Structure 1
Amino acid sequence: MTDRWLVALDIDGTILHEDGSIAEAVIDQVARLTGLGHEVMLATGRSVAATLPVLDLLGITPTYVVCSNGAITLQRDTDAPLGYRREIVETFNPGAVLTQIHQHLASAHYAVEDEEGYFRYTGDFPSGSMGVGGEQVSFEDLLEIDATRVVVISPGHDMEDFLAIVETMGLHRVSYSVGWTAWLDIAPDGVNKSTSLERVRALLDIPASRVLAAGDGRNDIEMLLWAGVSGRAVAMGQAPDDVLAVATEVTGTIYDDGLAQALARLV
């Protein structure tokens, strides 16, 4: 169809509840839009292995999927074992930035995700953040891995203290975002959800005026800014103030089926 929309959806806190469930109203709206020929895809900080099951829950097979905060773009390939192949992978050497952060947050927990979605980590890490698997290693073992993503968790800090520490680090050589809690995601320099989504939009030949992006976290800010230039940038109602500030519209919270409300208003 010539007037189709590109709908890019964050997963956690936007589609998915904390218990791993998806509201039937969201599933229904996604089915409605895909049935009309619109391109509904995922753009997430999750690894590939943690993302693909959500496609199954939604019942969609989009042409592209953006994972690891933009570091990995998947393309649909029915011949691939899981139905998708890694089309674009952005990596970086995390040694310098890990060493820098460690000087400020020596007691934090660190993880590095490689291009296969395998995590190596120090300390305790939520099992849900792992991709195809994980292995506890020493901090020094993390420094030479080609990374698509670095994750830092600092359980001993509240959010405001953590933000203050992050601001002193000057992480200008990499892209980074801070999550809901004391959680820091770091991607290759200049890479975020928006950079990958702009590439996808061009490949699909969908005008920027027919883009809708929805999210709830600080790693969605660039995506919402990108969508809001000509299209629609939807922030979930429970999002932090700095996420709400960059949206063109605010919908209900995830507990109120806010995503379904926003999608119902699309076409």
Structure 2
Amino acid sequence: MRLIASDIDGTILGHDGKISDRTVEAFAAAAEAGIDIVFVTGRPPRWLDPIRDRLGHTGTVICSNGAVSYDLGTERVTGAHVLDWATVDRVRTIVSELAPNPYFALESLTGFHVEKGFHGTRAAASGEFVPGPLTPDMADGGIVKMLAVLHEGSADDFLDLVSPRLSPLLAVTHSAPDLALLEMGPLGVNKAVTLAEYAAARGIEATDVVAFGDMPNDIEMLGWAGAGYAMASGHPQAIAAAALAAPRFEDDGVARVIESRLAALRLA
């Protein structure tokens, strides 16, 4: 084990926004043992405060499902894959033809853009996002993720409905457990692709990587890593895709696996 790659939400971070003391201690012990640590998330860079504040992480975070590499210490984007406007416009047309009343948003390197109705009856994560039309000039900021939401149904059903038409155009997945929200990024880009690049730059083979995740957007990463652990509390597709299982998030599953693997290293 030379590198630990972990998803954030539902894997080490709860819906209450908290990371347990045991998890904090496990990551600290891994870092003390010289293990490289990288977090791999669907979150944008602006939502990484829990990782820095609780875990003291100031290294790389792979964000937006692999579309962005971000240095948390310097608060700087170090790499990005982007969507062009023609793809965004085509995808919006296809989804609108297939699904009832979809709403869209765009995550760019310069901000988050939501159209009116995207949040529905839910409050926005922050009051800073003012709904408005999505326009071609937003591509100038480097679009790294497109989101589509339905205010009824499930993300699984939404994905099944649109993916046959969208898969040739861009990467499409989901990670919201209770919302029909799809996350779409540049074609051929996912968590595994960017994690592999990160590891290769450090001379680390996939066989030396331990990865943790819980949702469909983690599937490729869990399959690529030499030891890919799906959380027992995770999505059935993630569990089915992973060779290994970690205990439930509620039982500090990631911490338990890290503790066990570090103990094995000490005995080796």
Aligned with residue 47 of structure 1, among 37, 44, 47: 44
Aligned residue for 1:239?
A: 234
Secondary structure at the aligned position of 2:42 is classed as coil
Contact between 2:100 and 2:150, CA under 8 Å: does it hold in 1?
A: no
- Residue 221 (structure 1) shift: 0.6
Contact between 1:154 and 1:183, CA under 8 Å: does it hold in 2?
A: yes
Secondary structure at the aligned position of 1:14 is classed as coil
Calculate the TM-score normalised by the size of structure 2.
Answer: 0.86
Aligned with residue 225 of structure 1, among 215, 223, 238: 223
Secondary structure at the aligned position of 2:130 is classed as strand
Of all paired residues, the percent bearing the same amino acid is: 28
Distance 1:127 1:143, change over 3 A: farther
The farther-off stretch of 41-50 and 84-93 is 84-93
Higher helix share: 2
- Residue 250 (structure 1) shift: 0.6
Distance 1:59 1:162, change over 3 A: same
Distance 1:8 1:144, change over 3 A: same
Secondary structure at the aligned position of 1:74 is classed as strand
Distance 1:249 1:127, change over 3 A: farther
Aligned residue for 2:256?
A: 261
- Residue 40 (structure 1) shift: 1.2
* Distance of 2:15 and 2:131 partners within structure 1: 25
The farther-off stretch of 5-14 and 47-56 is 47-56
Contact between 2:42 and 2:65, CA under 8 Å: does it hold in 1?
A: yes
Which structure 2 residues correspond to residues 139-158 of structure 1 after superposition, within 5 A? 141-142=134-135, 145-146=138-139, 147-158=143-154
* Distance of 2:187 and 2:156 partners within structure 1: 25
Contact between 1:201 and 1:208, CA under 8 Å: does it hold in 2?
A: yes
Aligned residue for 1:9?
A: 6
1:160-183 Cα deviation digits (max 9, x unpaired): 532432344343210110233311
Contact between 1:216 and 1:243, CA under 8 Å: does it hold in 2?
A: yes
Aligned with residue 195 of structure 1, among 180, 193, 196: 193
Find out whether 1:75 has 2:99 as its counterpart.
no
- Residue 55 (structure 1) shift: 2.3
1:53-101 Cα deviation digits (max 9, x unpaired): 4222211222x21001111101366xxxxx2311111111211112211
Secondary structure at the aligned position of 1:156 is classed as coil
Contact between 2:159 and 2:182, CA under 8 Å: does it hold in 1?
A: no
Aligned residue for 1:58?
A: 55
Letter in 1 for 2:65: N
Q: Give the unaligned 5+ runs of structure 2.
A: 263-268
Contact between 2:114 and 2:129, CA under 8 Å: does it hold in 1?
A: yes
Distance 1:172 1:49, change over 3 A: same
Aligned residue for 1:88?
A: 79
* Distance of 1:85 and 1:15 partners within structure 2: 24
Contact between 1:114 and 1:149, CA under 8 Å: does it hold in 2?
A: yes
* Distance of 1:160 and 1:67 partners within structure 2: 22
Aligned with residue 136 of structure 1, among 124, 131, 137: 131
- Residue 52 (structure 1) shift: 4.1
Which runs of 4 or more aligned residues in structure 1 lie more than 4 Å from their structure 2 counterparts after TM superposition?
126-130
Aligned residue for 1:99?
A: 93
* Distance of 1:219 and 1:113 partners within structure 2: 17
